[in-house]
Amino acid sequence: EDQVTQSPEALRLQEGESSSLNCSYTVSGLRGLFWYRQDPGKGPEFLFTLYSAGEEKEKERLKATLTKKESFLHITAPKPEDSATYLCAVNNAGNMLTFGGGTRLMVKP
């Protein structure tokens, strides 16, 4: 059975304080690892897709990396508007997304 575990569950940062979120996974036949951002009461917003170990993608203050067992979402010099829940998901050979529980990020000014 596919499993995704995210840590930490919650993270408080000061504005400008860089950090990383972790996503550990076990999956049969990885067809992609996805990062989404979700604001309270809204649907997840797509950020990145990673397909193979060693791959990296960047968008503004966010950078996602992938190894064979985990992915990291690095946040550089975060701002209060980066506060949200960040979700990691894997797409297996059956084409269904399995999500982790998310990391709730709070950035204080």
Residues that bind other proteins (CB under 8 A): 4, 6, 31-32, 34, 36, 41-46, 49, 87, 89, 91, 94-102
Q: How far is the CB of 1 from other proteins (least distance, A)?
A: 10
Cβ at position 41, least distance to other proteins in Å:
7
Phi and psi of 81, rounded to 5°?
Answer: -70, -5
Please, which residue, 22 or 49, has the CB nearer to other proteins?
A: 49
Task: Report the distance separating Cα 47 and Cα 82, nearest Å.
Answer: 12
Q: What whole-number distance in Å separates Cα of residue 37 and Cα of residue 59?
A: 12
* Start-to-end CA span in the chain (Å): 41
What SS3 state is found at 67? coil
Amino acid letter, 54: G
CB of 10 or CB of 77, closer to other proteins: 10
The CB-of-16 to other proteins minimum distance in angstroms stands at 28
Q: Quick one: 76 or 97, whose CB is closer to other proteins?
A: 97
